Amino acid sequence: MLKWLLLLACLTSVFVGRGRFQVAGEKNAVKSSGSEDHPQELGDSPNLGEILRKRRKENPDSSPETLTRYLSKVGALSGRERRGKGSMARSGKASCGKLYKLKQGAKRNFRVKGKEDFCDVVFEPKGKAKLELVCKKFSLSDCKQEHFVVDDQDSEDTYCGNERPSKRTGLDYLHLTYRKTGDISDKPNILCTVKGVKASGGGGGSSGTQASGCEKVCGKASESAGASKIVGGEASTPGEYPWMVFLSIIDGDLSYLCGGSILTTSHIITAAHCVDYDSPQVIVVAGEHNVNKEDETITQIIRGKKITMHPKFNSKTQANDIAIITLKSSLEWTENVGPICLPPDNTFENRKAVIIGWGLLDYPGSTFPDELQEAAVTVSDHKECKESYAFSNFPVTDKHICAADPGRDSCRGDSGGPLMTKENGVWVLLGLSSFSTLECATEGFPGVYTRVSSYSQWILSKISSGSC
């Protein structure tokens, strides 16, 4: 009975007013999730990092090349950039305040042993290389007076104590910063190596693209999984998509419905706008199918312990609409509960895909289904999708992926749910339901999803404590 009341409250509250699918832009400020992605500033000394952060705050989607040109324009790189033999060296210590361009095989060590109060270094790949970060030593004693910041093209994360940054690879940009204020008795000990590595598009089940052990179990579903309905959606079968979860987002006296996908036994991925509240509480229901049948499937109901929104999520534009929910206890894999795979870095244009959810069946309307619905869609031509939303408050960028077919689209209540396709025998997560037109399924305006492959490294860094 408790579960039934919870689900009913979620469905009712979405209907009566604040379903977030089309109205995610109603808030006027980006809220902090209270995670490590939002560090406290320790000082105001002018430096390379301050200039970079200010510029990226003004232009969140700036490319590394754009940032470098800006630094050169304002004179911040005068005498700082290492070229020629300096940047091509096989190894060596990275000097504070420098920019290094690393080709494949070249590497530099970022090292702090206690002499510096502040040190920051910027790295970029050279040629067709990508960057890889590995921290072999890490020890900071005072989290109030010193921290280490890792800033790449997707996120900005702060570390202290003995929790070292996890390995990151495939990076297009990297900015490392150590800062200390006041006297600290214990000396810091940081040794991180940045290396130029071979660029790789990755793959749905290839090594390094999934959380620990997940490549062996992710994306597994019955052979009959997949939607073929020509118009609208249809009810899926119980257990057809074992990674799908029902999210109840509770904010004070109100609650909201969203979808999400299982990545590890302790991590769920969803849209940031689903959890963009002051103090949201999240209840995750895995293994659900029919919300009004208590014994149809065996479900696992677990509360969220931590919500990590992307630090550059913008509720005004829906940019970077992605979040990770860490669970208080671990899920158990069963026939109807399991993880989905992270995707390879492909466009998937014109590919058949599937969307699922418990959202509205029509709009305007009040018809919420009891059973999990599925619909077949086609991934749109990205240029055409950009043009369709050119004058929208929510512009489409390269970090989005669009999909729809006539009469088929995600709608209110489907936010955060998966856009997925089968790749090399396993199901991969292409996108997270983010926004569409107010009416849903409007011809010429496909549904817009957060492109998961654009955030692979950020996702892996957030789920590094999880496994399958």
pLDDT per residue as tens digits for the range 192-221 = 999 998 875 333 333 347 888 899 899 999
Q: How many CB atoms lie within 10 A of CB 45?
A: 11
Lowest-confidence segment of 104-113, 242-251, 333-342 by average pLDDT: 104-113
pLDDT band at 427 (very low <50, low <70, confident <90, very high): very high
| 165 CB-near residues (< 8 Å, 6+ apart) | 133, 135, 138, 148, 150, 157, 159, 192, 461
The CATH number, out of the four listed (2.60.40.420, 3.40.47.10, 2.60.120.290, 3.40.50.2300), of the domain defined by the range 48-198: 2.60.120.290
The reported pLDDT for the residue numbered 232 is 60
The reported pLDDT for the residue numbered 309 is 94
Q: Compute the average pLDDT of residues 43-71.
A: 54
Q: How many CB atoms lie within 10 A of CB 392?
A: 15
The reported pLDDT for the residue numbered 223 is 83
Position of tokens 């040629």? Answer: 127
pLDDT tens-place string over residues 374-414: 999 999 999 999 999 999 989 999 999 999 888 888 888 89
Higher-scoring residue by pLDDT: 48, 98:
98
Known catalytic residues are 273, 321, 415
Q: Which of 270, 397, 400 is nearest to 322 (CA)?
A: 270
Q: Compute the average pLDDT of residues 90-99.
A: 83
| Distance from C-alpha of 168 to C-alpha of 358, rounded to nearest angstrom | 35
How far is residue 260 from each of residues 135, 202, 269, 305, 448, measured CA to CA in Å?
Answer: 32, 23, 6, 15, 16
| Distance from C-alpha of 99 to C-alpha of 65, rounded to nearest angstrom | 12
Position of tokens 């579903």? Answer: 221
pLDDT tens-place string over residues 309-352: 998 899 999 999 999 999 999 999 999 999 999 999 889 999 99
Lowest-confidence segment of 60-74, 283-297, 308-322, 391-405 by average pLDDT: 60-74
Lowest-confidence segment of 20-29, 150-159, 200-209, 358-367 by average pLDDT: 20-29
| 296 CB-near residues (< 8 Å, 6+ apart) | 238, 289, 290
48-198 and 2-31+206-462 share a CATH fold: no
In terms of phi and psi (left: phi > 0; alpha: psi -120 to 50; beta: otherwise), the region of 34 is left
What residue spans define the domains of the chain?
Answer: 2-31+206-462, 48-198
What is the value of pTM for the model shown? 0.66
The reported pLDDT for the residue numbered 282 is 96
The reported pLDDT for the residue numbered 466 is 84
In DSSP terms, 421 is beta-bridged to 428
- Whether pLDDT at 108 is above 70: yes
The percent of residues in the chain predicted with pLDDT above 90, rounded, is 44
- Whether pLDDT at 159 is above 50: yes
The percent of residues in the chain predicted with pLDDT above 70, rounded, is 76
Angle at 364 between CA 360 and CA 367, to 5 degrees: 35
* Average pLDDT of the chain, as a whole number: 79
pLDDT band at 229 (very low <50, low <70, confident <90, very high): low
Query: CATH for 2-31+206-462?
Result: 2.40.10.120
| 362 CB-near residues (< 8 Å, 6+ apart) | 411, 440
Within 13 A of 289's CA, how many CA atoms are on the CB side?
18
- Whether pLDDT at 444 is above 70: yes
- Whether pLDDT at 45 is above 60: no
pLDDT band at 181 (very low <50, low <70, confident <90, very high): confident
- Whether pLDDT at 446 is above 80: yes
